[in-house]
Amino acid sequence: MNAVLETRNIKSILAKFQIEAPELQVNELVLDSREVAVHSVFVAIKGHQLDGRDFIPQAISLGAKLVLQEVEEQQQHGAIEMREQTILISFFQLGQKLSLLAAEFYGSPAEKLDVIAVTGTNGKTSVVQLISQLRFLSGDITASIGTLGAGIYNVDNSGLEKTLNTTPDACQVQKLLAKYVQHGAKQVALEASSHALVQGRIQGLKTDIAVFTNLTRDHLDYHGDMAEYARAKRLLLNQPELKDLILNADDAETENWIKAASNTQTITVFSTQLDRTQVSSKHQYCLATNIQYDANGLSFELQSSWGDAAIKCGLLGKFNVSNLLAALASLLVLQRPLKTLAVLCEQLKPVAGRMELFKHPTAGNLIVDFAHTPDALEQALKSARVHCEKQLICVFGCGGDRDKGKRPLMGRAAQQFSDQIIITSDNSRSESENAIVSDILTGISDNSRIKIETDRKKAIQLAIAQSQSGDLIVVAGKGHETEQIIGQQSLAYDERNYVNTLCLGKLQ
């Protein structure tokens, strides 16, 4: 997606942060010194892992006209010096104010968009993609930012460009939004990861709607414990101009969101377990009742504050009912017509690598899913079970150099909710694949249903070979990803493409 970014006078922008800067025309803010170009401003902040100030010489050598450098002392704020042909300006608490600065620099693009931010352990990608699909199908230009990439939405996701993180840095977010506005977008749906919220990447982003999907164990290697992880998610409540909250009433953490919400924020709850008589009169609601599953998808009766409707779609699993409710609630809050949305649901396509079905002509069908936490694996297997006629086979592994405590929990989930298990590798990184497998096995008490094959491709072939028509194979962990990290290497591996090739009878 190409767009020409406007040239801006840094003097008027920095004046709003009490800095008297010289007249200088620039067109972008960058945090990565390798991306510096002639008209760039290099923003040197002290990060969580790296100190951007260490890369100022590199930015200067690449021709940066201006460097904003973070300083610890307030009296240094606004100090200006020259280094070669580059202006250096000191900025107190630059890291904390970066999102606000970036919004100001790029002309506050969020003010021209409906901004929906989605957080939660599981479901962020699916909810963002379902919101984008429905808005696209209704004829609007819409954009998304998240795990699958960032860009203007289209049917095959070809408009998405890969990003380094689920939620890009503060400068990138505002730059992307400015591009989307140029392309005529009316809405952006974005994933707000807990890392991004703690690091303030979207701190100054005007947000219309915040969606909370659920909270289960993940990222404890970063947050330390579940209480800190939960608090990180709730930071989304502090977004500027946030008016509407879309909350999962089936998750216990929602009570904490309701308690923390301000009186100016309207709450809409969604649920697959409640009916309208059980919802507080203070809240709007979006509920699924009479949920039905078949080999081709699911259907349910929708009860909502905007009316009732029959919903039918080609998605798989109960948690996708929950994801769809979150998406529908978001668009209903934005006054999209319920009747139109109900019709459009029949056109929805599965999200890439999220309970994505691949049909095998002679053996069991396969589902590729990104599930890489204990709860996500449990939900994926439970969801697959309602679409499974015979045996449910689970192929999964666990990532290396990440939360080791979840490995036995994932083993336990696989044992409890599937009939046969094949343990394989995931992104093993610097750890031994066999050591990771051993950790998984500590959560499994019955080894009679287990096979171990650390070559992931061979593990999938093994699952197909031991299956028969009517069985269902869940291949969990990789989802949409196109590489596998082993040691220090990132090896090309597209699981969706590989599974599709196997189903077509073209072994690689």
Query: Tens digits of per-residue pLDDT, 440-480?
Result: 999 999 999 999 999 999 999 999 999 999 999 999 999 99
> In the chain, pLDDT over 70 holds for what percent of residues?
97
**pLDDT for residue 508:** 47
Q: Averaged over 178-196, what is the pLDDT?
A: 94
- Evaluate the CA torsion angle 297, 301, 304, 306 in order and state its sign: positive
Q: Are 380 and 369 in contact (CB under 8 A)?
A: yes
Categorize the per-residue pLDDT at 103 as very low, low, confident or very high, splitting at 50, 70 and 90: very high
Can you tell me whether residue 58 is helix, strand or coil?
helix
Structure tokens at 2: 């190409």
**Rounded CA gap, 402 and 13, in Å?**
41
Mean pLDDT on 33-62: 92
Mean pLDDT of all residues in 204-211: 95
| The architecture CATH gives domain 356-503 | Alpha-Beta Complex (3.90)
Asked whether the predicted pLDDT for residue 4 surpasses 60, the reply is: no
CATH 3.40.1190.10, domain 106-279+318-337, yes or no:
yes
Confirm if 144 and 128 have CB atoms less than 8 A apart: yes
What is the percentage of the chain residues whose pLDDT exceeds 90? 82
- 165 appears as a binding residue in the annotation: yes
Residue 264 annotated as lining a ligand binding site: no
Residues 380 and 407 sit within 8 Å (Cβ to Cβ): no
Q: Which long-range contacts (CB under 8 A, 24 or more apart) does 233-236 make?
A: 233/119, 233/120, 233/194, 233/197, 234/260, 235/197, 235/198, 236/117, 236/119, 236/192, 236/197, 236/207, 236/210, 236/212
Whether 33 has a binding-site annotation, put simply, is yes
pLDDT value of residue 49: 79
Nearest Cα residue to 384 out of 408, 368, 363: 368
Helix, strand, coil tally for the chain in percent (to 5): 35, 25, 40
Name the pTM for this structure.
Answer: 0.85
**DSSP 8-class letter at 120:** S
108 is in an annotated binding site: no
- What pLDDT score does 221 carry? 54
Q: Is 358 in contact with 365 (CB distance < 8 Å)? A: yes
pLDDT value at residue 228: 86
Binned at pLDDT 50, 70 and 90, residue 3 comes out as low
Say if residue 154 carries a ligand binding annotation.
no
Q: Kindly list the strands in the beta sheet with 66-71, ordered across the sheet, starting from the edge strand earlier in the chain.
A: 28-30, 40-44, 66-71, 86-92, 80-83
Give me the mean pLDDT over the 157-167 stretch: 81
Rounded mean pLDDT, 433-440: 97
Confidence class for position 330, pLDDT limits 50, 70, 90: very high
Give pLDDT, residue 220. Answer: 56
Place of tokens 């039905």: 292
The answer on whether 166 is annotated among ligand-binding residues is yes
Q: Is 456 helix (H, G, I), strand (E, B) or coil?
A: helix
Task: Average the pLDDT over 117-123 and give the result.
Answer: 92
Lowest mean pLDDT among 194-208, 314-328, 427-441, 481-495: 194-208
- Sequence-distant (6+) residues with CB within 8 A of 177 are 106, 109, 110, 113, 143, 188
> Binding site annotation covers 318?
no
pLDDT of the residue at 507: 62
Task: Map out the domains of the chain as residue ranges.
Answer: 8-95, 106-279+318-337, 356-503
pLDDT reported for residue 1: 53
Average pLDDT over residues 121-135: 94
Topology at the third CATH level for domain 8-95:
3.40.1390
- Is 120 part of any known ligand binding site? yes
Mean pLDDT of 79-85: 94
User: Is 262 one of the annotated binding-site residues?
Assistant: no
Q: Is 126 annotated as a binding residue?
A: yes
DSSP string, 214-282: ---S--HHHHSSHHHHHHHHHGGGG-TT--EEEEETTSTTHHHHHHHS-TT-EEEEEESS--GGGS-TT
Tell whether 9 is in a known binding site.
no
Spatial distance between the Cα atoms of 178 and 223, rounded to a whole number of angstroms: 32
Give residue-wise pLDDT tens across range 354-411. 999 999 999 999 999 999 989 889 999 999 999 999 999 999 999 999 889 999 999 9
Q: Is 382 labelled as part of a ligand binding site?
A: no
Partners of residue 486 on adjacent β-strands? 429, 489
Mean pLDDT, the chain, integer: 93
The yes-or-no verdict on residue 84 having pLDDT over 70 is yes
Give mean pLDDT, residues 49-67: 94
160 labelled as ligand-binding? Answer: no
